[in-house]
Structures are given as C-alpha cells and as structure tokens.
Amino acid sequence: MRKTILLMLFFTFLLVTAGQAQYGIQRSIRNKVRRDAREHAVKEEEKAKAEAEDEAMEKADKELDKAAEAAEPGLEKAEEAEEQAEEATIYGIGKYNEFAEGYEADVESKDPADYKKYRFNSAVVTYDVNGSEEGTKTLYIDMGGYKVAEYREVQHKKSKEKTASIMIGADVIGIDFDDKSATKVHNPLAYALANPDRDWEETAENILEHTGFKKTGQETILGRECDLWQHGKMKIWVWDGLTLKSVYGRDVETATNVQIDKGVPQDVFEVPEGFEYEEINAGDMFPEISEDDAKAAFDEDEDRDEFLDEIENMTYSEYKVIVLEEDPGLSDQEIKQSYLYLRQEAKRRHRIEE
C-alpha cells in the first residue's frame, strides 16, 4: 500500500513538472512570435514610410521638371552672361598683369616730393593720452609728409605697451617693442594718392565729410586756431592738416607741444637693431594670375558631375540616410529641399546637351 502511494506521488510530480515545462516552452515560443511580429511590423511600417516619401518626392520632382523646362530659356541667357563674364575676366586679368609687371618699378621711381602732404617740412607733436589707455604719443613728420612716424607708450589696466607705426612713402612699418618684431607692408592706396598737385587739406576734408563728420566751428589749442569736426560723440580739432586733439568716447588725445620745422631725428624712422623683421614688398601685393587660372575657376568640377550622376539615380530615402550620417542635425525639410535642388541640377545637364 505504501509503495502504491509513493508511486502515485512520483507520477503526479512528473505530470506537474512536465506540464510546467511545456507551459514555459509554449510561453517562450509565444513571446518570440510576438517579438518577431512587432519587429516585422516596425520594418514594414518603416518600409512603407520610406516608399511613401520616395513616391512623394518623385511627384514633387516631376512637378519641378515642368517649372525647370519653362525656366530654361532664362537659364540659358544666364549662362550666356556667365560666358561673357568669363571673357571679360580673362581680358581684365591681362590688363591686371600689365599693371602688376610695372608696378614695383613705378613705386621705386616715385619722387618723394609726390608724397608731400603738409605746408611745412617737418614737425614733432607730443600728446597726452587719457581714457581706456593712459600715456603719451609722439608724432614725427619729415620731408613734408614723405616720412611719418607715430610712437605710443601707454598703460593698460595690467600691462604697459610701446608700439610704433612708420610710413615712408607708400610703405608702412609696424613695430612692437615688447615682442621686438617689425612688419613692413606696402600700401597701394598711399601710392595711388601720391600726387604733387593734390590739395591735401581739401582731400582730408572730403574724407572727413564722406565718413560723416561736419565742421562745427573753430577753437584754439596751444595758440593755434583749429577747425572743429564732429560726428556724433567723436570730435577732432585740426590745424594745418595736423590733429591737435581728438575725442572718441572716453578716449582723449591732446597735443601738449608742437614744434614746426625744427628738425626730426632720423632714427625714429628706422627699425631698432636686433628686431625680427618681416617684409611684404610692392611686388608681393600683386601676384601674377594666368588665363588658365581664370578659366579653371569657370570650368565645371568633374567630382561634382560624378556626384550629380549618383544623385540622379538615388531615391530620396537613400539620399536621406547618407545626409543624416554626415549631418544628423538637418531637418526633414532641409533634406528634401537639397534633394530636389540637386536632382533638378543633375537633370538639367541633359536638357542642355539636347
């Protein structure tokens, strides 16, 4: 009897265990089927969405084809104008090269007297500098303006600074005394303006007027009667071509001493020994440009043609994947616009060939 009961309990345990195992297997199968179904549904949804987008973009592209065909005559005229522009550019380059070839020689042969800007021969003017900078400035003029040098020594909040700017003819030299470096650069505008018959006082006034300044009166500084020019909060006091006072917001420069025709030390127009020196000459300002360079600028880019070939045979969904890999931040609208534009550009090549 006892043996019979034990056997019954054993078989009952087997049945329960087998039932649980079978139920677990069935549940796993059901879960997998559900997952597969969901994944399939998502893929089908994405596929349907991509196909719908492709179809919509194809329709939009065809509508643009009609507009592009209507606009083709105007585009052809634009291309004709571009060809004329290319011819004009090549002609202009020829003239430019003629000018550039003789420019450096013309600069070197220029008479220093052509750069004369002042009625006097020499001047030394010292200034007090106040405002965002505190310090002094000294202006040196020689040979009537052929040589001009300006030295500044100013104190900033946490540092001092000493710099100089020298102009000799049409060459400008900037000097940084802290770095012990100097750079010489040719100034084509100074060369172009050099003219012994030019009325520099009139020229200076014209420049001030064109930049918004107006002559508002006269005031005396250091016993010299100055014209007062004003533009908003900016003021300039000018005597005989020299600025004796200037106000730019809180920055004020005021002449404290003026010496006319009493000589100028020539070392103020020289770069100190041992300074690092860089020079950009007149010839460097106008490099030679060949006609081949100009034509190359107008020629079509072969790489771009290859790219347009790919675009022409690419669906929108394929294009979108590539674009988002390069720039994930682009919006759908931006991607659609760029796709349609490139498609039209790609197809237009065939219309031109026909």
pLDDT score for 333: 83
**Residue 32 pLDDT > 50:** no
Per-residue pLDDT averaged across 135-141, rounded? 97
CA distances from 194 to 105, 170, 239 (A): 15, 8, 21
pLDDT score for 322: 85
CA atoms within 13 A on the CB side of 97: 12
| Tens-digit pLDDT profile for residues 159-180 | 899 999 999 998 999 999 999 9
**Residue 138 pLDDT > 60:** yes
Nearest to 254 by CA among 128, 163, 164, 352: 128
pLDDT band at 105 (very low <50, low <70, confident <90, very high): confident
Q: What are phi and psi of 299, to 5 degrees?
A: -70, 150
Q: What is the Cα–Cα distance from 288 to 101, expressed in whole angstroms?
A: 8
Q: What is the Cα–Cα distance from 90 to 289, expressed in whole angstroms?
A: 10
Nearest to 228 by CA among 214, 220, 48, 237: 237
Beta pairing class for 160-168 and 242-248:
unpaired
Tokens of 73: 């005559």
Q: Which domains occur in the chain, in start order?
A: 50-109+300-354 (no CATH), 112-285 (2.50.20.10)
CA distances from 211 to 27, 206, 243 (A): 86, 9, 16
pLDDT: is 345 or 98 the higher one? 345
